[in-house]
Amino acid sequence: MADAITEQFSAPLTFNWTLSYRCNFSCSHCYSRDEAAEELSTEEIKRIVDVLVTQQVPFINFGGGEPLIRDDLLEITRYASDQGLNVSMNSNGWLLNQATAEELKAAGFKSVGISIDSATGASHDDFRNMPGSFEKATAALDALHQAGIKTTMSSVISRINFQDFRSLLDLARQHHVAQIYLHNFKCSGRGFKNREDLDLTPEEWKEFYVEALQVKNDTDDLLISFDDPVIASLPGYQEESLVKGSSCGKLSLHLRPNGDITPCGFIPLVVGNILTDDFEDLWYNSPVLNGMRHKEAKGKCQGCGSYQDCLGGCTARAFATTGDLSEPDPHCWK
Amino acid sequence: MAVLLRNPDIVWRREKRREEQVLQELEEGGDVEDRGTVILLISGMMHQLNLLGGMIWDLCDGSRDQEQIVDNLLEEFDVEREIISADVTDFVADLLKRGWLIYG
């Protein structure tokens, strides 16, 4: 099936790769903490890297689970970076001391992101159910900076931090972070179970984005990124992205620990397995991926003047709450 | 003359399937000037190079100077050296100015 995405892109630009669902933390919003999947051997993982190299996928980002749980993370990263892949990861920072940071640098990591949800230590620790985790996370940022690795900070916006997001920016500056991601809240896994306590109302999301976008426009010493397609429906929003709507299934795909491919980590629809299926066939012909690329306006999206910009917002959130990829994003304020 | 090198900070990819389509269109006499075959990712933005630009970009691997790149292209295209040479000069000057190419 020919379409604008596959006519343009012969493969995704990024694979978000969950090497393991194992984690030393138990966070309130985690999409994957209650997931389980068989993990692959180092050699099988290297075979996947070979596939990604053949398909010319330029970026891989290890997530999880905690990537540093895998003893072979450095070996895998070295294997991938030696073949030209740009490797990054997101970590909670608990297992990352100065020696580890130096090893990550030597292995070829281009950047490492640390998750921090509040600039207040007690609040972060409580959210992450891990006393001492704030101190470890900020120390990890410092160690990475000292080792010469570009750092990013990932903060999931929720009720605990949306009114105080500027303090997260200040924290990032204090620890020499190059880019902060203010992630939108996903209703997956524990995020779905704890949605009532953690998620904002659509109106609160709108207020947050209006304010945060203004701050972003006024900031030149720190890159501030959002990854929320619903933002495109804000009046006057002009930032250009590579694709309209969710980038999942268009610019990025997700790998589960057993090699299964899903459009993103938050959509549990397996489109195939990278080790046993023909990747190009999946990329061009998967009904799930093509469904994400050709959403049809449903519900209040029908006739909405913003639909051509947001394409219904976050497909993962729509699917999690309705079971339908094309339903409107529940965060939409329109 | 110094060899030309792609800026190593730029992530790029040849879109092979698209390139095949463009080559076929070219063979059939189509105008492929505006059809991108190589994508460059620079500071979160995507840029595209057309068939000739993509070929020049591909050849800028630090092993050839500008004249050698022209030599290589003449093996692919049946046109006068002066024409290809002028295109390469313009393209290289533009990308050097942008910092996307550097002298090795």
The ipTM (two decimal places) reads: 0.82
Decide if pLDDT at A32 tops 70. Answer: no
Q: Judge: A10–B18 Cβ closer than 8 Å, yes or no.
A: yes
Q: Judge: A58–B15 Cβ closer than 8 Å, yes or no.
A: no
Half-sphere exposure of A232 (CA within 13 A, CB side): 24
Residue A245 has what DSSP assignment? S
Q: Which two tokens stand for residue A316?
A: 């993962």
CA A9 – CA A279 distance, rounded (Å): 13
Residues from chain A that touch B17, judged by Cβ atoms under 8 A, are 10
CA B102 – CA B96 distance, rounded (Å): 6
CATH number for the domain formed by residue range(s) B4-103: 1.10.10
Q: Which of A10, A53, A284 is the mutation pick for testing B, counting most B CBs within 10 A?
A: A10
Complete DSSP assignment for A248-309: BTTTEEEE-TTSEEESSTT-----EETTTS-HHHHHHH-HHHHHHHT----GGGTT-TTHHH
A2, exposed or middle or buried, with CB in 10 Å at 0-12, 13-18, 19+? exposed
Using CB atoms, pick whichever of B12, B16, B18 lies closest to residue A7.
B18
Q: Judge: B41–A10 Cβ closer than 8 Å, yes or no.
A: no
Residue B15 contacts A where some CB pair is shorter than 8 Å: yes
- Each residue's pLDDT tens digit in chain B (104 positions)? 799 999 999 999 999 889 999 999 988 999 988 899 999 999 878 899 999 999 999 999 999 999 999 999 999 888 999 999 999 999 999 999 999 999 98
pLDDT for A2 equals: 54
Average pLDDT over residues A36-63: 96
Kindly report the three-state secondary structure assignment for every residue of A156-218: ECCCCCHHHHHHHHHHHHHCCCCEEEEECCCCCCHHHHCHHHHCCCHHHHHHHHHHHHHHHHH
Residues from chain B that touch A242, judged by Cβ atoms under 8 A, are 46
**Rounded to the nearest 5°, which phi and psi values hold at A112?**
-135, 130
Residue B79 contacts A where some CB pair is shorter than 8 Å: no
Element (H, E) at A316: helix A315-322
Using CB atoms, pick whichever of A7, A86, A240 lies closest to residue B11.
A86
Residues from chain B that touch A243, judged by Cβ atoms under 8 A, are none
Q: What is the nearest CA distance from A12 to chain B, expressed in angstroms?
A: 11
